[in-house]
Structure 1
Amino acid sequence: MLLPFRQEDWPGEEVLRDGGGMADDSAAEVLPSGGSPFSDGYVGDPAVRDEWDNRYSERRQLWSGQPNGALVAEVSGLAPGRVLDVGCGEGADAIWLARAGWDVTALEVSGVALARAAAHARDAGVAVRWVHAGLTEAALPAASFDLVSAQYPALLRTPGSAAEHALLGAVAPGGVLLLVHHAGMDRRHAGQDDAFDPADYVWPSMVAALLGDDWRIEVDEERPRVAPEGGAGAHHTDDVVLRARRLR
């Protein structure tokens, strides 16, 4: 069942809850694969929202529908808690995390993607908080997530490294920050791919450079990618993985 956000919820948030196994027909009607019930609550840059809405609207399904392999590998040994999935797309990671017992908040700029994600979560019978916002505009509670995950080009760079600081600020003491990116893309030049300029996005190395004594880097490496079959990005073969723990 899709419930509108309450006053105490964050801007742009809607919550999908398991209705005890009973389907909510009204929710199904407002969550078509190409439509979006999230448009009115968006908080962020409209141009960024529109760009990603257009990308998702070009295909009925953009991603594979399977959780990212690096996420599964790095998170499987962690005790479930509260998690923020930044740039959740069509919801595969968020749904996997919810099934594993995590309390999931999933953030995405595209309302088209969120509509699909919410429908998939409803079909899976899991509860996820959906936040239709940019990370720096979302006003998420500080230092409150046991895991913050950003998989692949999920976060645009901002003046003063505001995006990087927002990522770090969301992690609770003792919590983990997990960033995964396609290896080598930061060494490409603008113009090689008209639809993607690597310089526009936050890379793990940019975040690692901001970590102080209150963080411990647990993983910082390039390794072969465990890639799900199908979906955009399936041709990438290697990952850059940064996992850091906030000590206090």
Structure 2
Amino acid sequence: METAAINRIDLNCDLGESFGAWRMGEDVALLELVSSANIACGFHAGDPEIMSHTVAQAIAHGVAIGAHVSLPDLQGFGRREMSVTPAEAHAMTLYQIGALHAFVRAAGAKLSHVKPHGALYNMAARDPSLANAIARAVRDFDPQLRLFGLAGSALIEAGNALGLPVASEAFADRRYRADGSLQSRREVGAVIEDAELATAQAIGIARDGKVHTVEGHNVPLQADTLCLHGDGAHAVLLARNLRKALETAGLRIAAPGTA
């Protein structure tokens, strides 16, 4: 498993999650602060125009571009679990990577990584067969693409098994359980709304390799990339504070695989 070098960390954010006339997040402001962008591919959010615009903005800001693939659930924002077979997961992952790749290639840039979204992310973290299907789709499209997944999860294991470059991901603004899984969003307090608390958690992960869990324990957690959620009410404030704190702690913000 790749682990973060002592002097660098990636800061990624889920972007391009508007749809039609409905707008979500402050993408341009966030692109000035992160090093990797996970762009929605139309299944949980985003549409062709939004995808094209977000790709262009990411290129303009020099941010690595990733496909944020999801279950087909616009109404539920991709956060509702569905029963899907490995074959279905493989096909829908390929479909979404291909859709975003079209915009990236047309803009003269290169796709950098793939990260599942929401329920698909959590399902793949614990289900080896689903994780393998997603990892195979990434490999089948381009074995040079980096697979983002929850640190210590089945998805990272699947990526390693297939020889993909991987990025173990941790979250600044989500609570953890003692087994390294994320606390369910259905539970009160699962999302850290306070920017100072989220920043402190991120520093603990990036610099010290540990996280404080909801059970009250400090457990090891090695990460190559930290995720921020662009749909949060204070997403820009958190990203600004977090980047400043990480740099103050001596960490350089850079996408995985870059010099």
- TM-score, normalised to structure 2, is 0.30
Name the structure with the higher helix share: 2
Name the structure with the higher strand share: 1
